[in-house]
């Protein structure tokens, strides 16, 4: 699709390219499309910064304490405060803009308006979900750093990333995954045990998988039973529940290592994620905002939707990456 930077020639929507636009409808439809297309955002810890100033969010990270035995006629034992602080940079700002000519608003059909608003909501949602998927680089001892650009295989070489190495659950290293290293029931059970060993709460655990793993799951008898697939209406991306873990599918799962870079085998390695809601924080300083401005020099109306947020790993021990060969 052709793009242009405003102001400049090109990029405006002419009569043959667009639809009737009403600002209120534009705004409502974009928000609806954005919310519908979010896969990861509803699964993580969300903090609203709406109306607050500043480019950083500081949130406390309280630590667990131990219960102490109480002897008769003795004072209680005071647990020392050892809380730390997590800083989230609010530095992810994305926009979607269209320039609609007056003649379009007067004469064009209304059907294309829905396409543009759906496209705006979808595009912004993909940006948010992609950043949340990159949080897998911060699990384990990965340093809780979220890579907001491209990731390298070395970013996943930490204690929170494993792959099915010929039937043995092994910590991931680059140039090791081969075609046989796919998702399996035993591999998933091993990863659940790792969550249990880390004392991660059973509630609000989720598994987010790429489409290739869904295909594998559909070939495992127990995963297509009525216990896994309820047949009921479910939220976006949810395909079932396995061992008490809701399973979601997302095309935005990160690529750990591209086939061209994998010297062990010419296959892609994707990042499925098993995590608790508290593993990742999404801080929204501005959710989807829609604005319009008339541009007399173009006899057009500029429609823009944007969002501003930050992503960070909050509990690195509460999430694991499952490196999957595709």
Q: What is the pLDDT of residue 227?
A: 56
Q: What is the CA radius of gyration of the chain?
A: 23
221 and 256 in one domain?
yes
> Distance between CA atoms of 234 and 219, rounded to whole angstroms?
22
Q: What is the pLDDT of residue 233?
A: 38
Q: What is the pLDDT of residue 106?
A: 56
291 and 266 in one domain?
no
pLDDT tens digits for 207-262? 999 999 988 888 777 666 655 655 443 445 688 888 899 999 999 999 988 888 88
290 and 271 in one domain?
no
Under-70 pLDDT residues of the chain = 1-25, 104-112, 143-150, 222-237
Tokens 């000519």 sit at which residue?
101
The pair of three-digit structure tokens given for residue 297, joined into one six-digit string: 């020099």
188 and 99 in one domain?
no
Class of residue 60 by CB neighbours under 10 A (exposed 0-12, middle 13-18, buried 19+) = exposed
Q: Is 160 within the bounds of a domain? A: yes
Q: What is the pLDDT of residue 84?
A: 77
319 and 174 in one domain?
yes
Contact 86, 76 (CB under 8 A): no
Q: What is the pLDDT of residue 111?
A: 59
Q: What is the pLDDT of residue 234?
A: 41
Tokens 């216990």 sit at which residue?
227
171 and 56 in one domain?
no
Contact 125, 100 (CB under 8 A): no
pTM of the predicted model, to two decimals? 0.81
166 and 23 in one domain?
no
Count other C-beta atoms under 10 Å from residue 272's C-beta. Answer: 26
167 and 104 in one domain?
no
Q: Is 237 within the bounds of a domain? A: yes
Q: What is the pLDDT of residue 15?
A: 43
51 and 127 in one domain?
yes
158 and 272 in one domain?
yes
173 and 116 in one domain?
no
Q: Is 7 within the bounds of a domain? A: no
Q: What is the pLDDT of residue 311?
A: 93
118 and 95 in one domain?
yes
Total of domains in the chain: 2
Can you give the residue range of the structural domain that contains 199? 151-280+315-325
Q: What is the pLDDT of residue 101?
A: 82
């Amino acid at each position: 699709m052709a793009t242009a930077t405003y102001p400049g020639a090109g990029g405006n929507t002419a009569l043959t390219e667009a639809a009737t636009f009403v600002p209120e409808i534009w705004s409502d439809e974009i928000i609806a499309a954005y919310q519908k297309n979010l896969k990861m955002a509803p699964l993580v810890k969300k903090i609203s910064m709406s109306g607050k100033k500043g480019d950083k969010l500081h949130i406390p990270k309280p630590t667990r304490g131990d219960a102490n035995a109480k002897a008769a006629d003795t004072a209680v034992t005071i647990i020392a405060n050892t809380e730390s602080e997590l800083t989230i940079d609010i530095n992810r700002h994305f926009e979607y803009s269209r320039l609609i000519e007056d003649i379009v608003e007067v004469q064009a059909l209304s059907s294309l308006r829905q396409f543009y608003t759906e496209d705006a909501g979808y595009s912004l949602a993909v940006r948010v979900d992609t950043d949340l998927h990159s949080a897998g680089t911060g699990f384990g001892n990965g340093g809780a750093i979220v890579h907001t650009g491209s990731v390298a295989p070395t970013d996943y070489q930490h204690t929170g990333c494993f792959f099915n190495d010929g039937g043995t659950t092994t910590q991931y290293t680059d140039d090791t995954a081969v075609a046989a290293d796919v998702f399996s029931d035993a591999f998933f059970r091993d990863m659940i045990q790792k969550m249990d060993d880390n004392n991660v709460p059973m509630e609000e655990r989720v598994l987010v998988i790429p489409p290739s793993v869904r295909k594998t799951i559909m070939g495992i008898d127990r995963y297509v039973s009525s216990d896994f697939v309820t047949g009921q209406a479910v939220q976006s991306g949810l395909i079932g529940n396995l061992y008490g873990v809701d399973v979601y599918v997302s095309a935005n799962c990160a690529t750990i290592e591209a086939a061209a870079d994998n010297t062990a085998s010419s296959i892609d390695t994707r990042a499925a994620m098993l995590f608790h809601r508290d593993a990742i924080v999404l801080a929204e300083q501005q959710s989807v905002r829609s604005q319009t401005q008339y541009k007399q020099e173009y006899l057009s109306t500029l429609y823009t939707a944007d969002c501003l947020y930050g992503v960070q790993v909050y509990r690195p021990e509460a999430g694991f990456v499952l490196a999957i060969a595709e």
